[in-house]
Amino acid sequence: MTIRQKPKKRSSQVPGQFYGYSLQITRAVAHLLRAHSGQSVCVEHLDDVSTSGSAGAILEQDKSGLAHNPVADRSIELWKTLHTWVIAIRDGALINDTKFILFVAQNHHGSVIDRIHGVSRRSDAIDLIAALRDEFLGTAPDRAERARLPQDLGHYVRGVLDASDEVLIQLFLNLSLETGSGSPGEDLLPLLREKAIGEAALEDVLTHLLGWAKRATD
């Protein structure tokens, strides 16, 4: 008698991971369509996707948002991203006018990231820094909120909010949230329409661009 083994279940994380990697290629095309002469676009160099040139750098972190909201107020992905950028600014790895984009392929939002996105003046940044420290760290001797943060999340939250005001001001003034419709490829069409491309050719051009970007990146 032959005993057939039950096939192992494929990891449910694999499709999400692949989507995340392919999202970087799609976003690289978005950066290329926005780029100016003399700028270069990279994948997995300065960040997930980045544009650099004499005018400065744009660093982007990409989140798929398929299974959950990665920019929710208590999302470890949000605070880990902010922490990464805080370290880069603090250590002098970036010039002062570096721009930061947090891109989510789905239309996700959160109070913290929306408030950071809305910062346009130095005074706005100072007020928000104080508000976030009060909300997540508490004011002495009240540390109840801080104590309730899970250990991993707390590590990144404190890593961000314990940074100097000047570091956080630079980050908040230069950070923007961009969200997609859930179809990253389709979201490129408005950028293509800004070029000298006829409507009938848009889909063919988009397919070619995505394929070329994948091959060039490989």
- Global pTM reads 0.86
Please list the ranges in the chain whose pLDDT falls under 50: 144
Mean pLDDT of the chain: 89
Predicted local confidence at residue 10, as pLDDT? 55
Predicted local confidence at residue 138, as pLDDT? 80
104 neighbors 179 (Cβ within 8 angstroms): yes
Predicted local confidence at residue 1, as pLDDT? 56
Predicted local confidence at residue 67, as pLDDT? 85
* Of 135, 115, 134, 114, nearest in space to 125 by CA: 115
Find the angle CA(85)-CA(89)-CA(92) to the nearest 5 degrees: 140
Predicted local confidence at residue 147, as pLDDT? 53
Query: Which residue bears the tokens 């032959």?
Result: 2
